[in-house]
Amino acid sequence: MYRDPVFQKIIDRALKEDQSHHDITTNILVPENQISKACIIVRQEAVICGLDVAKYIFKKFDPKMKFTFFCKDGDRLKRNCKVVCLKGKTRAILTGERLVLNFMAYLSGISTETNKFVKKAHPYQVKIMDTRKTIPGLRALVKMAVRTGGGVNHRFNLKEMVMIKDNHLIAYKREKTIENAIKHVRKKTRKIIVIEVDSLIQFKQALDAQPDIILLDNMSPRQLKKSVKINNESKNKCLLEASGGITLRTIRAVAKTGVDRISIGALTHSPNAIDFSMEFKG
């Protein structure tokens, strides 16, 4: 990640927004060549994510900044544990502090939440996946955080695969059937085709049309289990994905049904920020 231009572009935009190179308070009060030490502490149990982001930001201000890492991305730490200590120019530490903590709080929140779902779904062989419900402009970092928490990334953008949802079927001008829509798409592209259904009747229609993945939207565990049984007995067997309002309370029941994938918007659209702080040593 450290040298990935996509990630660097996101972080550089944040630095520009913060006017980080014009930190008037720090630049007035702190001599240019003063050296200090500081440690970042996690104040609650969490799966850590964002260490490369922290390193990139601090090195933007002080290329000679030295780091001592006490963990790596993906490690679970208990509350009040040291995450990383650094030594370098005081101005660099003070100017980069809030931006680093913001990124780490947000990304670690996603990793921690994702890991909760992954653990709840264990030992069932099911992938816990994210969605496109991400803050615009931050998707690359957000999806990295999902992977760090043990999850799997769904499509990154609209170009990556075909996903036919209910509104697409409504907008489709020809005879509005699942079979016709899938056939029409097959003629135009070789990309993966996903079709969303919300009933067993629609599921059977979709299965006959041979998509690559059927997304079972807001179905009960009983409906999901029935869909899995029908799929296993079909010559047109495809991947099954459950989605829609799945929570930590319901994830295990969904995983037990035998679906291949579970996509969860809550991993990325409403994560709880993890509490980090910096202990500064002047």
Do 34 and 166 reside in the same domain of the chain? no
Domain assignment of residue 28, given as a range: 5-115+271-281
23, 62, 217, 241: which one is catalytic? 217
CATH no. for residue 54?
A: 3.90.1170.20
Local confidence band at 175 (pLDDT 50, 70, 90 cut-offs): low
Q: What is the DSSP secondary-structure string of 114-173? A: HHHHHHHHTTS--EEE--S-S-TT-HHHHHHHHHHTT-B---SSTTSSEEE-HHHHHH--
pLDDT score at 163 = 97
Residue 262 zone, left/alpha/beta (φ > 0; ψ -120 to 50; rest):
beta
pLDDT digits (tens, 9 = 90+) for 225-259: 999 999 999 999 999 999 999 999 999 999 999 99
One-letter amino acid at 234 equals: S
Lowest-pLDDT choice from 22-31, 95-104, 174-183: 174-183
Do 147 and 83 reside in the same domain of the chain? no
Mean pLDDT over 159-182 rounds to 88
Do 60 and 169 reside in the same domain of the chain? no
State the Cα–Cα distance between residues 73 and 47, nearest whole angstrom: 8
pLDDT digits (tens, 9 = 90+) for 46-63: 999 999 999 999 999 999
- pLDDT averaged over the chain? 95
Do 46 and 82 reside in the same domain of the chain? yes
Do 107 and 132 reside in the same domain of the chain? no
Lowest-pLDDT choice from 19-28, 33-42, 168-177, 232-241: 168-177
23, 196, 241, 261: which one is catalytic? 196
Helices 200-208 & 178-188, crossing angle to 10 degrees? 40
Active site residue 165: yes
Active site residue 160: no
pTM of the model: 0.94
Mean pLDDT over 136-158 rounds to 97
pLDDT digits (tens, 9 = 90+) for 191-213: 999 999 999 999 999 999 999 99
Active site residue 113: no
Do 178 and 168 reside in the same domain of the chain? yes
Do 92 and 179 reside in the same domain of the chain? no
Question: Tokens 């208990």, residue?
Answer: 78
pLDDT score at 281 = 87
Local confidence band at 272 (pLDDT 50, 70, 90 cut-offs): very high
Do 130 and 258 reside in the same domain of the chain? yes
119, 147, 165, 252: which one is catalytic? 165
pLDDT score at 278 = 98
State the Cα–Cα distance between residues 202 and 31, nearest whole angstrom: 69
Lowest-pLDDT choice from 81-90, 147-156, 178-187, 272-281: 178-187
Do 135 and 254 reside in the same domain of the chain? yes
Mean pLDDT over 10-15 rounds to 95
pLDDT score at 195 = 97
Is the previous residue joined to 211 through a cis bond, with omega within 30 degrees of 0? no
Do 85 and 74 reside in the same domain of the chain? yes
Active site residue 198: no
One-letter amino acid at 279 equals: E
98, 176, 183, 281: which one is catalytic? 98
The dihedral formed by the CA atoms of 208, 212, 215 and 220, expressed in degrees to the nearest 10: 60
- The percentage of residues in the chain with a pLDDT greater than 90, rounded to a whole number, is 90
CATH no. for residue 200?
A: 3.20.20.70
Please tell me the total count of domains within the chain: 2
Do 36 and 15 reside in the same domain of the chain? yes
Active site residue 133: yes
Do 260 and 149 reside in the same domain of the chain? yes
